[in-house]
Structure 1
Amino acid sequence: MSALVLALVAGAVIGLALGALGGGGSVLAVPALIYLLGFTAVVATTASLVIVTLTSVTALVAHAGDGHVRWRTGLLFAAAGIGPAMLGGALAGQLPEAVLTVSFAVVAGVAALRMLRSRRVVESAVTVRPGRAAAAGAGLGAVTGVLGVGGGFLAVPALVGVLGLRMRDAVGTSLLVITVNSLAALATRAGTVEELDWAVVGPFVGAAILGAWDGKRLSAKVSGHTLQRIFAVLLLSVAVFMLIDAVL
């Protein structure tokens, strides 16, 4: 199968996940770029940031149009995580790769199980305390900085489980958090963007953007409780895969 076809298929799947679930971009994009398209790890992470940033902005606009983005909460959540993420990134350089992989798998698995065990909640608006949003964002920033991936996959469980947002609002707000974090990370890699193979990355981005619109339409047809369970199962699957890959 040609690189172009693989890029289109992978991009569509990643866009669908971001649009419907508000996360999964980097966790799915990096392995696809490395294992399917032959990118090196460094180039793959940079390409992933470009793909996730552009796709998240598209999905964010779509969800914002339906009023499912908590702007103040999302911006506070994201801003509070920037400093801890930078510190976490510095700490990550001192830890073995296997330790980082296992740690992420454990954190992701715990988040998934918590979402699976949560009871069905009434889809009503909630008031989020700024202090709690900042604390949750700082914690997520630290974890994301240390483990390298997991912005959306960990943001949604945090927004639902810690801050009490409705699943639909958590999906939309997570896209805002992902966009801010991806732009911040991409700014530190501006010099490597020109090294990307745009003949592959371009179609990948295009397919992801189209997939994000389809994911947004899918999320509108599925209940928040069902979305939450789908997200949790997908997150748990990724956690198990990463744990097995780190151990074997």
Structure 2
Amino acid sequence: MSTLILALAAGAVIGLALGALGGGGSVLAVPALIYLLGFTPVAATTASLVIVAVSSATALPAHARDGQVRWRTGLLFAAAGIGPAMLGGAVAGRLPAAALTGAFGVVAAAAAVRMLRARRSTDVARPVRPGRAAAAGAGLGAVTGVLGVGGGFLAVPALVGVLGMRMRAAVGTSLLVITVNSLAALAMRAGTADGLDWAVIGPFAGAAVLGAWDGKRLAAKVSVKALQRIFALVLLAVAAFMLIDTAV
């Protein structure tokens, strides 16, 4: 199968997850770039930030029009994560490839378990505590910077579980957080972008953008809980593969 077809197929799947669940795109993008398209771990995490930043930014307006973006909370989350994201981006280029891949596998596995164990969100949103929002945002920013992930697969559970946000609002708000965190991390990874294969990244990102629109429509028709469970199982399998590959 040609590289272009693989890039288009992977981008479509990742965009679908991003649009439906408000996250997960980047956590699948990195292994796809490494194992399907031959990127190094550092190049894959940088390329992932580009892909997820573009797809998140284009998916955000549709959720905002539906009133499913909590701008104040999202901007607080994002602002708290900018510094850690930039610091993590600077550190990532100095980590050994095996350490980067192993750390990514651990975080992906933890996110999958969290999604499988997620409790049903309440229909009544609780008041947001700025301190808790800032702490969660800083943690997400650090993960984004080091591992090249947008943080949506962690942001949605945090927005629901920590801040009591409704699921669909958390999905929309997470896209704002992903966009800001990804751009902040990219600002510190300029040196790792020189050798990227833009002929692959371009189609990958384009397919992800189109997939995100379809994902939003899918989320309106299918139970978010069912989509979340399916994605978590796929994510768990990917995490196990990456950890085994690192150990061998």
Question: What TM-score bracket applies, with the shorter chain setting the length?
Answer: 0.7 to 0.9
CA contact (8 A) 1:112 1:157 kept: no
Aligned match of 1:232: 232
CA contact (8 A) 1:166 1:224 kept: no
Displacement of 1:66 in angstroms is 1.4
CA contact (8 A) 2:150 2:181 kept: no
CA contact (8 A) 1:20 1:215 kept: yes
SS in 2 for 1:182: helix
Quick one: which amino acid aligns to residue 199 of structure 1? A
Aligned match of 1:123: 123
Quick one: which amino acid aligns to residue 164 of structure 1? G
Quick one: which amino acid aligns to residue 57 of structure 2? V
Distance 2:104 2:191 in 1: 28
SS in 2 for 1:39: coil
CA contact (8 A) 1:30 1:44 kept: yes
Equivalent residue runs for 1:35-50 within 5 Å: 35-50=35-50
Distance 1:37 1:211 in 2: 19
Equivalent residue runs for 1:161-200 within 5 Å: 161-190=161-190, 193=193, 195-200=195-200
> How many aligned residue pairs are there?
248
SS in 2 for 1:165: coil
Aligned match of 1:114: 114
Per mean C-alpha deviation after superposition, the further-off stretch among 230-239 and 134-143 is: 230-239
CA contact (8 A) 2:42 2:192 kept: no
Structure 1 moving runs of 4+ over 6 Å: none
SS in 2 for 1:68: coil
Kindly provide the CA deviation profile for residues 132-166 of structure 1, in whole angstroms up to 9, marking residues without a partner as x. Answer: 11011112223444445462222222222222222
Kindly provide the CA deviation profile for residues 28-82 of structure 1, in whole angstroms up to 9, marking residues without a partner as x. Answer: 2222223323334444333322211111111112221211111111111111122
Aligned match of 1:201: 201
Per mean C-alpha deviation after superposition, the further-off stretch among 145-154 and 203-212 is: 145-154
Aligned match of 2:16: 16
SS in 2 for 1:119: coil
Per mean C-alpha deviation after superposition, the further-off stretch among 157-166 and 131-140 is: 157-166
Aligned match of 2:80: 80
Aligned match of 1:68: 68
SS in 1 for 2:124: coil
Displacement of 1:173 in angstroms is 1.4
Distance 1:147 1:202 in 2: 21
- Segments of 5+ residues of structure 2 without an aligned counterpart are none
Displacement of 1:10 in angstroms is 1.4
Displacement of 1:120 in angstroms is 2.7
CA contact (8 A) 2:34 2:41 kept: yes
C-alpha change, 1:34 and 1:242, in structure 2 (3 Å) is: closer
Distance 2:127 2:67 in 1: 15
Q: Give the TM-score taking structure 1 as reference length.
A: 0.84
Kindly provide the CA deviation profile for residues 203-236 of structure 1, in whole angstroms up to 9, marking residues without a partner as x. Answer: 2222111111001101111233334433433443
C-alpha change, 1:229 and 1:40, in structure 2 (3 Å) is: closer
C-alpha change, 1:91 and 1:4, in structure 2 (3 Å) is: closer
CA contact (8 A) 2:49 2:149 kept: no
Displacement of 1:118 in angstroms is 3.5
Aligned match of 1:139: 139
Distance 1:91 1:128 in 2: 31
